[in-house]
A = this chain, B = another copy of it.
Amino acid sequence: MNAFPKTRAFVWKKDRLLLLDQRVLPHRLVWKTCRTWSDVARGIKEMVVRGAPAIGCVAAYGVVLAAKAKAFRTREDQMRALEHAFDGLLQSRPTAVNLRWALERLRLIWQEPETYGVHVLTPQGVAKCLEQEAIKVEEEDREFNSRIGRLGAALLPLDAVVLTHCNTGSLATAGLGTAFGVLWTAHRGNKIRKVIASETRPYLQGARLTAWELQQEKIPFELITDSMAAHFMKTEKIDAVIVGADRIAANGDTANKIGTYSLAVLASHHDIPFYVAAPFSTVDLTTATGRDIPIEERSAKEVTWVRGQSIAPKNTLARHPAFDVTPSDLIHAIITDRGVAKPPYTESLKDLFERQPVLI
């Protein structure tokens, strides 16, 4: 068994960023080349790449592409271009907060280079520092995934049947994945009997991506429609539900892929522990509660068309909130790279925030 999954969502190539086109997986492997920050923003918006941690990483590389875009005469010229790229990338997905976190981390370099330990910078120097930092964002995410995996696997019983939603693996992060990393680590420790993967309509990340990753990693699994989760919670033994997160508010309320809230209510009804796994960068202490998290509404056509086939009558009005918010009282624990937070989250998340992050 490999130490890391075989799959990668993106590959940095110094003057360009390659994105694995997740829209055509698992049937085709197509790499898209991004040469500008707006290529990256479009890739995020059009879901070529998705998954909050992966989006943070690729947005960071988007900034690097902006910094290297042309031979800037002055740092001011470059700064204007970088601010423009910052805004454009930030708007590409409003709910995920890792995007903002990664962008703000890079912005420190061009706005306050002294806090980064650098005092005199040329445009080329800024670009070099940004690239180093973007690589660090990626490497850290990989390390955070491993820690989340270890901490989460310790929470699962032996011979566990675990239900997961959407895709949270190596296609959604830089490494093992978040919730998927927990499953992967627990499977390595012989703790997993089987994974139940919900297909995750409308985008089918569960059926297309998680099933593919589970297959590649030889983890036993069953695919179900989202509507079957309650039935199997009632009729079979399910030991835990584990999901990722796009943003976690200060009180623990968690925005994640649409359908997550439904699973949390159903898990609670069936007395099944419900876990969230995410890098600590997903925790946004400036967002007080879930009510303050903007929910991205995407095109109705993404609901009424499946893989190029129309599934509803013409002119059907469909809704498409891409995310929902799970109130913290339905969450048993939030597994982060800094440790496992338990209720009350307002305190436990603040404690983890104040804990010095272990940097690599």
Residues of A that sit less than 8 Å from B by CB: 26-27, 198-202, 204, 207-208, 211-212, 215, 221-232, 234, 258-259, 261-262, 265-266, 268-269, 303-304, 306-313, 315-319, 321, 324
Q: Are A202 and B230 interface neighbours, CB within 8 A?
A: no
Q: Are A269 and B258 interface neighbours, CB within 8 A?
A: no
Copies in the complex: 2
Give the docked Cα–Cα distance between A227 and B265 (Å). 12
Q: Are B312 and A309 interface neighbours, CB within 8 A?
A: no
Give the docked Cα–Cα distance between A198 and B226 (Å). 12
Q: How far is the CB of A301 from chain B (nearest CB, A)?
A: 12
Majority DSSP secondary structure for residues of A touching B: mixed
**Known contacts A230-B265, A307-B309, A223 near B27 by CB under 8 Å:** no
Give the docked Cα–Cα distance between A226 and B319 (Å). 11
**Known contacts A232-B319, A307-B309, A311-B207, A265 near B258 by CB under 8 Å:** no
Give the docked Cα–Cα distance between A198 and B312 (Å). 12
Q: Are B226 and A227 interface neighbours, CB within 8 A?
A: yes
Give the docked Cα–Cα distance between A226 and B310 (Å). 17
Q: Are A226 and B226 interface neighbours, CB within 8 A?
A: yes
Question: What are 20 A-B residue pairs whose CB atoms fall within 8 Å in the complex?
Answer: A26-B312, A198-B227, A199-B311, A199-B312, A201-B201, A202-B225, A207-B304, A215-B315, A222-B317, A222-B319, A223-B312, A223-B318, A225-B258, A228-B324, A231-B258, A231-B262, A231-B321, A268-B269, A269-B269, A307-B309
List, in ascending order, chain B residues with CB within 8 A of A234's CB.
Answer: 261, 324
Give the docked Cα–Cα distance between A227 and B261 (Å). 9
**Known contacts A231-B261, A319-B232, A303 near B266 by CB under 8 Å:** no
The residue from B227, B304, B306 contacting A223, defined by CB atoms under 8 A apart: B304
Shortest beta-carbon contacts, A-B, top 9: A227-B259, A230-B262, A307-B309, A226-B227, A201-B225, A231-B324, A223-B318, A26-B313, A207-B312
List, in ascending order, chain B residues with CB within 8 A of A228's CB.
Answer: 258-259, 262, 319, 321, 324
Give the docked Cα–Cα distance between A53 and B224 (Å). 27
Give the docked Cα–Cα distance between A66 and B224 (Å). 39
Q: How far is the CB of A137 from chain B (nearest CB, A)?
A: 30
List, in ascending order, chain B residues with CB within 8 A of A308's CB.
Answer: 309
List, in ascending order, chain B residues with CB within 8 A of A315's CB.
Answer: 215
List, in ascending order, chain B residues with CB within 8 A of A313's CB.
Answer: 26, 208, 211-212, 215
**Which B residue's beta carbon lies closest to that of A291?**
B235
Q: How far is the CB of A111 from chain B (nearest CB, A)?
A: 37
Give the docked Cα–Cα distance between A309 and B226 (Å). 18
The residue from B198, B212, B221, B303 contacting A199, defined by CB atoms under 8 A apart: B303
Q: Are A306 and B307 interface neighbours, CB within 8 A?
A: yes
Interface hub of A202, A226, A311 (most chain B Cβ within 10 A): A311
Give the docked Cα–Cα distance between A233 and B221 (Å). 30
**Known contacts A230-B324, A259-B228, A265-B230, A306 near B311 by CB under 8 Å:** yes
List, in ascending order, chain B residues with CB within 8 A of A262's CB.
Answer: 227-231, 262, 266
**Which B residue's beta carbon lies closest to that of A198?**
B227
Q: Are B306 and A306 interface neighbours, CB within 8 A?
A: yes
Q: Are B258 and A303 interface neighbours, CB within 8 A?
A: no
List, in ascending order, chain B residues with CB within 8 A of A268's CB.
Answer: 269
